[in-house]
C-alpha cells in the first residue's frame, strides 16, 4: 500500500504531517506537569537538600563526639601520640618543674647547707655567705628538676604512663562533658585536663636517687595538664552532649532527608548531583571552620600556655573528625561524578562510549586467544541493568557497615565499583570493539548508566 492511500482526498501530505505534529504537541502538553506544581516540587526538593547538607555536617560532628566518649581505643589512639610530641613533652616538663619547685622550701635547704658548713668548721663569714645564695640555688634547683623532668617525659615509661592515664580516665569522659568529677580525665573550670601525678612521682624518685635528699619532701601532688581549654566550653558542652547522644542516628536522618529531596525533585538525577555537591560543600565548610577555630583557640589561650603544645593537642583531638570530613567529602564528590556520568549529556555519553569500546576491545582480544563467555553473555546482557544496581547496593551496604571509613577507603571503594562495572561490560559489551566492521552497538545504558538509571 502506497503512502498516498493514507491521505484524505483533497489534503496534501504536508498538511497531514502538520496535523500530526499539532496533535502530538497537544498530547505532550496534556501530559506535561503544571508549571505551578513543577515549581512547588523544585522548591520542596531544594529545601530538603539544603537541610540534608546541614544535617550531614552535624552528623559528622555527632559521630565524632559519640566515638570520643564511648570508644576508649579510639580516644586513646588519638591522644596517646602526644606523649612523643616534643612541644607537649616540653610543656609537661615545665609544668612538672614548676610544681616540684613549689614543694621544696629553698630557704630551708639554704639554712641546712649553712648549718652543715658551720658544723664542718667553715668560718662563720663563709657559712653566712651561703645564706645569700638563695636566688642562685633556686635557679640551679630549677635546672636540676627540669633536667630530671625532661628525662622522664621523653622516656618510653612516660608514654606508657600517659596512655594508662588516658585509658583509665576515659570512662569518666561522659561525666566530664556534664561537668561532673572523677577520674584522670575531667573538666574543671572550662578545662579538660589529664592528671600527670605519676610523672611527678618519677621525677621525685630520680632526684632522690641522684642524691638530692630534699626532693623526698615532695608530697603526693596531683597536677593537671590541660589538653583542651576554652572560655566557651561551658556554653557548648550542652550541644556536644546532645550530639553525643544522637550519635549514629544523625547520619541516618541526613540520608533520609537527602533521599526525600531527590525523590521529590522533577529531575532526580540533577537533584542527586545537587545533594552530593551540597554535602561536599558542607564538608568543605566544616574543614575550614576547624582551621579557623584552631587559630581562635590558640589566640585565646591563657598567657602562661604553650601555643605549640596547645596546637598539637587540638590536632590530636580532632584528627578523626578531619578524617571523617575528608571521607564524606570524597564520597559526595564520587556520587556527584557518578550521577553526572550516568546522564545524557554529550560528555557523559562520550566517557561511557570510551569505556565501553575499551572493554569491547579487551573482550575481542580475549576471544582471539580462545575465551568464550558461553551462556554468561546472554544472561548478563539480559539482566545488565539489575546487575549494575546490585553492584551499587552491595557497595553501599558494605560501606555503611564499614567502621570509620577514611578518604583512602572511599578511593578503593570507587576502584572496586569501577572494576565490577568493567567486568560486567566485559561479559556483555554494549559497544563494538574499535575497528569492528559492525561499528558501535547502540546501548542506551552504557557501562555506568546501566546501574544508576534515573531521569
Q: Are residues 103 and 221 in the same domain?
A: yes
Q: What are the cell numbers at 158?
A: 612516660
Cβ atoms of 53 and 279 closer than 8 Å: yes
Evaluate whether residue 11 is within a structural domain: no
Q: Is the pLDDT of residue 263 over 80?
A: yes
Average pLDDT, the chain: 75
Q: How far apart are CA 426 and CA 420, in angstroms?
A: 10
Rounded CA separation 420/162 (Å)? 46
CB proximity list for 266: less than 8 A, separation 6 or greater: 33, 38, 41, 42, 45, 455
Q: Is residue 376 part of a domain?
A: yes
Task: Calculate the alpha carbon distances from 290 to 33, 118, 190, 314 in Å.
Answer: 45, 63, 19, 10
DSSP state of 92: H
What is the average pLDDT across 201-230? 57
Same domain (yes/no): 360, 272: no
Question: Are residues 289 and 408 located together in one domain of the fold?
Answer: no
Q: Are strands 185-188 and 191-195 parallel, antiparallel or unpaired?
A: antiparallel
In a domain, 30, yes or no: no
Q: Residue 13: inside a domain, yes or no?
A: no
Judge contact between 388 and 424, C-beta under 8 A.
yes
Q: 104 and 219: one domain? A: yes
Burial of 448 (0-12, 13-18, 19+ CB in 10 A): buried
Q: Which of 190, 143, 139, 195 is nearest to 166 (CA)?
A: 195
* Least confident span in 119-123, 321-325, 355-359, 387-391: 119-123
Paired with 228 in beta bridges are 192
Together in a domain, 103 and 222? yes
Q: Which of 337, 366, 400 is the last residue of a domain?
A: 337
Same domain for 377 and 446, yes or no, is yes
Indicate whether 406 belongs to any domain.
Answer: yes
Quote the CA–CA distance of 245 and 248 in Å, as a whole number. Answer: 9
Q: Are 309 and 395 within one domain?
A: no
Q: Which of 195, 227, 259 is the last residue of a domain?
A: 227
Residue 36 lies in a domain: no
Residues 223, 89 share a domain:
yes
Q: Among 60-74, 311-325, 360-374, 395-409, which stretch is predicted with the lowest mean pLDDT?
A: 60-74
Residue 326 lies in a domain: yes
Is 93 within the bounds of a domain? yes
> Do 270 and 322 lie in a common domain?
yes
Which has more pLDDT, 440 or 275? 275
pLDDT band at 277 (very low <50, low <70, confident <90, very high): very high
Q: Do 220 and 94 belong together in one domain?
A: yes
Indicate the residue among 275, 307, 337 that finishes a domain.
337
Nearest to 322 by CA among 354, 291, 360, 361: 291
Between 347 and 207, name the one with better pLDDT. 347
Write out the residue range of the structural domain in which residue 245 sits: 48-68+239-337
Per-residue pLDDT tens over the stretch 25-54: 666 555 555 566 678 888 899 999 999 999
Q: Would you state the cell numbers that stand for residue 310, as one nine-digit string?
A: 596547645
Q: Select the more confidently predicted residue: 158 or 247.
A: 158
Specify whether 201 is located in the same domain as 244.
Answer: no
Average pLDDT of 213-221? 55
Q: What is the largest CA-CA distance in the chain?
A: 146
Q: Which of 234-243, 256-265, 317-326, 411-420 has the lowest mean pLDDT?
A: 234-243
Q: Are residues 330 and 406 in the same domain?
A: no
State the pLDDT at residue 218: 58
- Band of pLDDT at residue 132, cut at 50, 70 and 90: low
Closest by CA position to 194, among listed 315, 313, 68: 313
The domain tally of the chain equals: 3
Report pLDDT for 120.
Answer: 57
Amino acid at each position: 500500500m502506497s503512502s498516498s492511500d493514507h491521505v484524505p482526498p483533497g489534503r496534501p501530505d504536508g498538511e497531514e504531517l502538520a496535523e500530526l505534529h499539532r496533535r502530538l504537541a497537544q498530547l505532550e502538553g496534556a501530559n506535561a506537569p503544571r508549571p505551578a506544581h513543577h515549581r512547588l516540587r523544585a522548591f520542596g526538593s531544594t529545601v530538603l537538600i539544603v537541610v540534608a547538607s546541614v544535617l550531614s555536617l552535624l552528623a559528622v560532628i555527632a559521630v565524632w563526639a559519640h566515638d570520643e566518649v564511648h570508644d576508649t581505643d579510639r580516644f586513646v589512639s588519638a591522644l596517646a601520640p602526644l606523649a612523643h610530641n616534643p612541644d607537649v613533652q616540653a610543656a609537661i616538663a615545665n609544668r612538672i618543674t614548676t610544681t616540684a619547685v613549689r614543694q621544696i622550701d629553698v630557704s630551708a635547704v639554704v639554712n641546712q647547707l649553712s648549718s652543715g658548713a658551720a658544723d664542718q668548721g667553715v668560718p662563720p663569714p663563709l657559712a653566712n655567705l651561703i645564706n645569700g645564695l638563695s636566688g642562685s640555688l633556686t635557679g640551679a634547683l630549677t635546672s636540676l628538676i627540669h633536667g630530671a623532668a625532661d628525662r622522664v617525659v621523653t622516656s618510653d615509661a612516660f608514654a606508657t604512663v600517659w596512655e594508662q592515664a588516658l585509658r583509665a580516665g576515659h570512662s569518666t569522659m561522659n561525666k566530664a562533658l556534664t561537668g561532673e568529677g572523677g577520674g584522670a580525665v575531667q573538666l574543671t573550670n572550662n578545662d579538660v585536663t589529664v592528671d600527670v601525678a605519676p610523672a611527678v612521682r618519677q621525677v621525685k624518685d630520680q632526684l632522690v636517687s641522684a642524691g638530692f635528699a630534699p626532693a623526698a619532701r615532695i608530697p603526693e601532688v596531683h597536677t593537671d595538664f590541660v589538653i583542651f581549654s576554652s572560655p566557651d566550653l561551658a556554653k557548648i558542652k550542652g550541644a556536644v552532649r546532645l550530639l553525643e547522644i544522637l550519635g549514629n542516628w544523625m547520619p541516618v536522618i541526613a540520608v533520609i532527608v537527602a533521599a526525600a529531596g531527590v525523590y521529590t525533585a522533577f529531575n532526580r538525577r540533577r537533584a542527586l548531583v545537587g545533594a552530593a555537591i551540597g554535602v561536599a560543600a558542607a564538608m568543605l565548610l566544616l574543614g575550614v571552620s576547624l582551621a579557623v577555630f584552631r587559630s581562635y583557640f590558640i589566640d585565646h589561650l591563657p598567657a602562661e600556655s604553650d601555643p605549640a603544645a596547645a596546637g598539637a593537642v587540638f590536632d590530636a583531638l580532632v584528627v578523626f573528625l578531619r578524617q571523617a570530613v575528608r571521607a564524606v567529602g570524597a564520597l559526595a564528590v564520587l556520587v556527584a561524578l557518578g550521577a553526572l556520568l550516568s546522564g545524557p549529556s554529550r560528555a557523559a555519553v562520550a566517557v561511557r562510549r570510551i569505556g565501553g569500546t575499551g572493554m569491547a576491545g579487551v573482550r575481542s582480544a580475549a576471544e582471539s586467544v580462545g575465551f568464550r563467555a558461553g551462556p554468561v553473555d546472554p544472561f548478563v546482557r539480559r539482566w545488565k541493568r539489575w546487575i549494575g544496581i546490585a553492584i551499587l547496593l552491595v557497595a553501599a551496604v558494605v560501606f555503611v557497615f564499614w567502621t570509620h571509613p577514611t578518604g583512602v577507603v572511599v578511593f578503593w571503594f570507587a576502584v572496586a565499583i569501577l572494576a565490577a562495572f568493567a567486568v560486567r561490560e566485559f561479559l556483555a559489551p554494549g559497544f563494538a570493539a574499535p575497528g569492528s566492521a559492525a561499528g558501535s552497538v547502540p546501548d542506551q545504558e552504557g557501562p555506568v548508566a546501566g546501574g544508576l538509571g534515573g531521569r
